[in-house]
Chains A and B, each alone.
Chain A
Amino acid sequence: MTEISDWRYRIERYRLIGVRCRRCGSVYYPKRSKCIKCGSSDLEEVELPKRGRVVEYTIVRLLPDRYNRFHPYAVALIELDDGTRIYGQLTDVDLDKIHEGMEVEATLRKLYEYGESGQIVYGIKFRPVLSR
């Protein structure tokens, strides 16, 4: 990605904007142009729920330099409250305490920044829900 593409994707990144199939209701994030369940191309933009639970996760220890300051971090397969599955990076979490079924919520965080232009890139990460 470059500064330009980071800017282009900013809204779907900040607000978790995906697409929903108007025919069968499947939801995808990030956006895609065709539904892989029913084949329909009739998709509408939709804002995804901001809460879900961890289905599986791994702890990433060999990582790109733009994420050095988060080393090591967890990437989880998350099922959102509407059943949509996505990948999300976890934050504010003790890596030893992550578990399948753990409730998580979206939070806007700084991802990385560009040295020369100074542009800072924000995006959604997921943190444990402390109390219900």
Chain B
Amino acid sequence: MEVSLLGIPVIAGYGVIPIREYWDKDVVSLAINAVQNLVKSTGLKDFDAIYVGNMLSKYYEEQASISVHLADELGLEDVYALDVECGDASGAYAVLEAIKDVLSGESKIVLAGGVEKSTDELPHRLYRGISLSEDIFLVDYIGLTNLVNHAIALKMYIRRYNVDKADITYLSVLDHENASKARHAYFRFPIKLDTALNSPPVADPLTLFDISPNIDGAAFLLITTDDIAKEYNLNYVKVLGYGYSVNRTRFYERFDPTTLTAAKRASQQAFKRAGINTSELDFIEIHDSTTIAGVLALESIGVHGSGTAAKYIRSGVHRLDGELPINTFGGLKARGNPLGATGAYAIAEGVMQILGEAGGNQVKDAKIGLIHSMNGFDLSSIVFILGGD
């Protein structure tokens, strides 16, 4: 566990909005709505610092410095306000900045999360936007998109381990099943495997149901120490460990293309800090921006051996009522993938599970959970291990 003279870093509150298409709201308004929910449930409205994860507002709405505008709208003064951009892991990286801030003693009560207003763009501009974490030379001169690495890795994986693609796509069935009960999820209905397999191709062999929808959302967390949380009578979840790493940005130069090396290193750091191993986890939130990304993430964080995760997912052990539930509110595929907010949603969901506030999605006796978030196809990855008191 991360030990500091200042106490243990904890997450002592969350505020999310349902992931939807908010045609009548801008990016800062979405963030405000999520923060208002957090303020309502915690009673705290003054923060020493705010960290806002966002991927594309500079590109879509051409609005920079969201954190400063958010601070202004929230009426905060003398606050440290910083935008955090790390692709679709931005929200998770913003939370880590908050944790490090609290651990350093600089700030005591910190607001961190993410927001994305994906629907402000027309589809073709969106497709370039969500590809912008990739090397722009490849995006503009070769036509690389965010899905190319996923699709090629999927083909390599199937070839290398002789896996049935249906077993991989089954992750979207599991996601939809979990999201069907989740109020804040985007796709609140179950699907059949056949529907997923027969959906239109998007980057062959990936089909529409293998990829996650880029919708609007905002999620924020309150980060402080255990002592301060107790002082304010707040229920909290401890940050037992965290880790982060980067991978080769050019997929074709990776030495092991079917391992998410950044996720692997990040999880190893997190397990080491927490002093636990995979067998002690009660649930996992993985970054399944595509089904293959989710499968590879489960293997890379050490839950399953290479080439085996899809079979386990298909077997049911990762369902909500299974041995080790994953994506307990539907993951990126069905809860939705509001890019810069996605990682913050996953963390908020982990907090809900451990605090027993997950409603119809509650995992029984959820005490320790792992949250994985990543930028693109493992350009970088970040992992948190959260635990109850």
Contact = CB atoms under 8 A, between A and B. Distances in A.
A75 to B, nearest CB: 5
Query: Considering residues A1, A58, A66, which has the most beta carbons from chain B within 10 angstroms of its beta carbon?
Result: A58
Nearest to B132: A64
A102 interface: no
B152 A77 contact: yes
A65 B204 contact: no
A66 B125 CA distance: 9
Contacts of A89: 142-143
B142 A36 contact: no
A77 B252 CA distance: 7
Interface stretch (B38-46, B133-141, B326-334): B133-141
B144 interface: yes
B144 A87 contact: yes
Interface residues of A, number: 31
B138 A61 contact: no
Contacts of B137: 1, 9, 30
B143 A65 contact: no
B124 A87 contact: no
B246 interface: no
Nearest to B152: A56
Given A28-B253, A36-B248, A65-B125, A60 B201 contact: no
B314 interface: no
Contacts, number: 91
Nearest to B138: A87
Contact of B203 (A6, A62, A65): A62
B155 A58 contact: yes
Contacts of B273: none
Contacts of A9: 137, 141
B191 interface: no
Interface in B109-141: 123-125, 127-128, 131, 135-141
Contacts of B131: 64
A69 to B, nearest CB: 12
A61 B201 contact: yes
A38 interface: no
A75 B142 contact: yes
Given A86-B252, A87-B148, A64 B141 contact: no
B203 A61 contact: yes
B268 interface: no
Given A9-B137, A59-B201, A75-B148, A65 B124 contact: yes
Interface in A71-123: 73, 75, 77, 85-89, 111, 123
A13 interface: yes
A123 B141 contact: yes
A65 B123 CA distance: 9
A68 B125 CA distance: 11
B275 to A, nearest CB: 33
Given A58-B151, A77-B152, A64 B138 contact: no
A63 interface: yes
B148 A60 contact: yes
Interface in B135-192: 135-145, 147-148, 151-152, 155-156
B131 to A, nearest CB: 7
B202 interface: yes
A58 B152 contact: yes
Nearest to A9: B137
A85 B253 contact: yes
Nearest 7 A-B pairs (CB), nearest first?
A64-B128, A58-B151, A65-B124, A1-B140, A59-B204, A85-B252, A89-B143
21 contacts: A1-B141, A30-B138, A36-B253, A57-B152, A58-B148, A58-B152, A58-B203, A58-B204, A58-B205, A58-B206, A59-B203, A62-B123, A62-B127, A62-B202, A63-B127, A64-B139, A65-B124, A66-B128, A85-B252, A87-B252, A123-B142
Interface of A: 1, 6, 9, 13, 28, 30, 36, 56-68, 70, 73, 75, 77, 85-89, 111, 123
